């Protein structure tokens, strides 16, 4: 049986899961999304993903046609329908189709799409040896242009930075904010360890408030690792003892070099290793 895709409460074969070319999600990137993971049939922090999705939608004046509870149930139904236990779940809500033109009032039918698929993981080697990343010249969205807190369908900004990374042979790239401070990577939040102290940029650095980021902050507190959300510059990354990234897809992934320069020993550090192990345990609890 082919993969079953949810669109507005109905399941379609992957080949037949289609939306209009007039959809403003396609025409203008007008919509919001979430990327989630399920482990042994349980979606990690489903409620937090729902909260962020509905906040993203509210921020762009998009009324999601179903309740959070219904959406949660529909996510679970999509997993079940596809008999997936360890999956990647992409939830998309578009503004819907309408006439050409930016005016969102000319659309009437927001499309709710849920795709549950096998997850394409980074190779194990990245976790064992760590990633090498670069600093992208493309900065993160200016918060006064489009808040980075909104997980919108308009990801070109991050895609441009991703292209810079790929052209330099790196799968991730660091993005600075409009003030030149460290924001985050193209699809992951960033942490450093300095003298045993865990640090990550604050929400107002112009980042997406990652659900994995928040889980790692919680973990650190329970493990009595000193932690702060503090403004970081590229200098702080260059002189850090350890560095790692967090994201639903990547989980906790070590970074051992940036812009061709080793971070700390140039090997995966002990705090990073501890948090990788503890996070793995956490998602299965």
When asked if residue 162 is in the footprint of ligand PXG (CB under 6 A), the reply is no
Q: Could you tell me where the beta strands, DSSP code E, fall in the chain?
A: 4-7, 10-13, 31-39, 42-43, 87-94, 111-118, 131-135, 173-176, 182-185, 189-194, 197-200, 227-229, 242-247, 251-258, 261-262
Which of 173, 213, 243, 271 is the binder for ligand PXG (CB under 6 A)? 213
Q: Which region, judged by CB under 6 A, interacts with ligand PXG, from 58-66, 116-124, 211-219, 232-240?
A: 211-219
Nearer to ligand PXG, 138 or 158 (CB): 158
When asked if residue 188 is in the footprint of ligand PXG (CB under 6 A), the reply is yes
How do 261-262 and 227-229 pair as beta strands?
Answer: unpaired
What CA–CA distance (Å, rounded) separates 95 from 104? 7
The least distance separating ligand PXG from the CB of residue 187, rounded to whole angstroms, comes to: 4
The DSSP letter of residue 167 is: H
When asked if residue 254 is in the footprint of ligand PXG (CB under 6 A), the reply is no
How do 251-258 and 87-94 pair as beta strands?
Answer: unpaired
Which token pair is 235? 């200098």
When asked if residue 246 is in the footprint of ligand PXG (CB under 6 A), the reply is yes
151 in active site: yes
- The contact mask relative to ligand PXG for 114-153 (x = CB under 6 A, - = no) is ----------------------------------------
Using CB under 6 A as the binding criterion, the count of chain residues that bind ligand PXG stands at: 15
């Amino acid at each position: 049986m082919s993969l079953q895709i949810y669109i507005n409460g109905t399941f379609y074969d992957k080949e037949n899961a289609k939306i209009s070319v007039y959809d403003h999600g396609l025409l203008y990137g007008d919509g919001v999304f979430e990327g989630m993971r399920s482990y042994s049939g349980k979606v990690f922090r489903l409620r937090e993903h729902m909260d962020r999705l509905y906040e993203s939608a509210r921020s762009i004046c998009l009324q999601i046609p179903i309740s959070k509870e219904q959406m949660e149930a529909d996510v679970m139904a999509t997993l079940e329908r596809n008999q997936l236990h360890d999956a990647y779940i992409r939830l998309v809500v578009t503004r819907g189709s309408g006439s050409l033109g930016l005016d969102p009032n000319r659309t009437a039918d927001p499309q709710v799409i849920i795709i549950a698929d096998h997850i394409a993981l980074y190779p194990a080697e990245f976790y064992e040896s760590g990633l090498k990343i670069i600093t992208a010249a493309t900065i993160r969205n200016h918060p006064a242009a489009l808040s980075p807190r909104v997980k919108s369908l308009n990801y070109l900004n991050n895609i441009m930075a991703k292209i810079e990374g790929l052209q330099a042979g790196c799968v991730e790239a660091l993005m600075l904010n409009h003030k030149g401070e460290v924001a985050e990577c193209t699809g992951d939040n960033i942490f450093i360890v300095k003298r045993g102290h865990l640090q990550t940029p604050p929400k107002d650095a112009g980042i997406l408030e990652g659900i994995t980021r928040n889980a790692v902050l919680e973990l650190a507190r329970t493990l009595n690792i000193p932690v702060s959300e503090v403004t970081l510059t590229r200098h702080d990354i260059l002189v850090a003892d350890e560095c790692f990234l967090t994201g639903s897809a990547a989980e906790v992934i070590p970074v051992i070099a940036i812009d061709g320069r080793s971070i700390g020993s140039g090997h995966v550090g002990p705090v990073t290793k501890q948090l990788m192990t503890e996070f793995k345990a956490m998602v299965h609890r």
